[in-house]
Amino acid sequence: MISEFDIIRRYFSRPAPSAVLGVGDDCALVRVPAGMELAVTADMLVAGRHFSPNDGPGTLGHKALAVNLSDLAAMGARPRWALLAIALPEADERWLSGFAGGFYGLAGKSGVDLIGGDTTRGPVITISVTLIGEIPEDRAIRRSGASPGDEIWVSGQIGSAAAALAYRQGTLELEHPEAAAVLPALVVPQPRVELGQALRDVASAAIDISDGLLADLGHILDASGVGARLEFERLPLAEPVARRKVEALVQQCVLAGGDDYELCFTAPADRHDAVLVAGARAGVRVTHIGEITAQPGLDVVGGDGQLMKTAHRGFDHFA
């Protein structure tokens, strides 16, 4: 039987060259370059709620880090160090090896060193990642910086993850090529880390979309004390959603649900070209989808110029 210490030694003790001291003592030690501040975030994933028991451990290792990278991206921070606390029903070495592979794979691509954490036993797989990034002082992109007249943008496509979830749950029928096109957004989301950093000094406010576009844009509006007007026809819908145009599906997939891990952000209208340049630098499509308004509220205007009825609320674990 593999011990707790062997698990850490075998699977979670790769070198952490960016740290003064990595895994193996009571704490890790890190040093922050002069002029930098730290952006810190933590997310917890619970089996059966945030992922399916059918998700392979490698995709799970990827996703556990990706959701945190997405939070750093939304602030424009550069990822540096991760801590991983994990509860497991049993010490399954095949699972551990796969999970570590997925986690370290994305960590390596993202410049992240795993520097510490905890391994314990629990009735369901529960994964808590804390991620620390750095950003030059006073240059973080906050939710509170949007001003009337700013343009509203979104990265990538929206609706893929929610469509994939609906497909999995049997409420949306997809042909194989469509399913294959949307599933990666759900199981191995690609956080917009480069785009976030490229948007420093360009975006006035940003958030990552983890609870649905309207809900997350709503957080920017609340924090900034402004309103917004979105044009539905501009939304970069994922192909299976766009093709169907089923109202309920659109509501579910695009506006009020779905963890796309894209960025929704605002920028002054005179920085329109700078936003396009930032997107090009990061290799990510960015789409102008509406405007910030002085008047509170969030209006979505349909193709016919009429206001659409929308469900604003995003996903709520306790709803």
Span near its own copies by CB under 8 A; candidates 112-120, 169-177, 184-192, 300-308: 112-120
Q: Cβ atoms within 10 A of the Cβ of 292, count?
A: 25
Nearest CA-CA partner of 275 in 171, 196, 220, 160: 196
Name the minimum Å distance from CB 8 to its own copies: 11
Q: Which of residues 206-225 bind its own copies (CB under 8 A)?
A: 206-208, 223
Number of chain positions touching its own copies (CB under 8 A): 72
Q: Which of residues 3-32 bind its own copies (CB under 8 A)?
A: 3-5, 7, 20-21, 24-32
Position 75 contacts its own copies (CB under 8 A): yes
Q: Which of residues 27-46 bind its own copies (CB under 8 A)?
A: 27-32, 34, 37-44, 46
Q: Cβ atoms within 10 A of the Cβ of 20, count?
A: 10
Q: Which of residues 164-193 bind its own copies (CB under 8 A)?
A: none
Out of 11, 12, 50, 237, the residue judged to bind its own copies by CB under 8 A: 50
Contact pattern from residue 259 through residue 298 relative to its own copies, giving x for each residue in contact according to CB under 8 A and a dash for the rest: ----------------------------------------
Q: Which of residues 113-132 bind its own copies (CB under 8 A)?
A: 115-124, 126, 128, 130, 132
Half-sphere exposure of 21 (CA within 13 A, CB side): 6
Residues 224/145, Cβ–Cβ less than 8 Å: yes
DSSP 3-state of 22: coil
Q: Which of residues 131-150 bind its own copies (CB under 8 A)?
A: 132-133, 135, 137, 140, 142-144
**Cα–Cα dist 253/255, whole Å:** 6
Residues 42/85, Cβ–Cβ less than 8 Å: no
Beta bridge partners of 292: 228
Nearest CA-CA partner of 1 in 110, 93, 74, 139: 93
- The residue count for the chain: 319
Q: For its own copies, which is the closer residue by CB, 49 or 243?
A: 49
Using alpha carbons only, give the angle 7, 16, 282 rounded to the nearest 5 degrees: 115
Span near its own copies by CB under 8 A; candidates 167-175, 178-186, 281-289, 311-319: 311-319
Span near its own copies by CB under 8 A; candidates 72-80, 152-160, 182-190, 241-249: 72-80
Token digits for 184? 């990666």
Q: For its own copies, which is the closer residue by CB, 91 or 308?
A: 91
The single residue listed with the structure tokens 């016919």 is 304
Span near its own copies by CB under 8 A; candidates 68-76, 179-187, 251-259, 272-280: 68-76
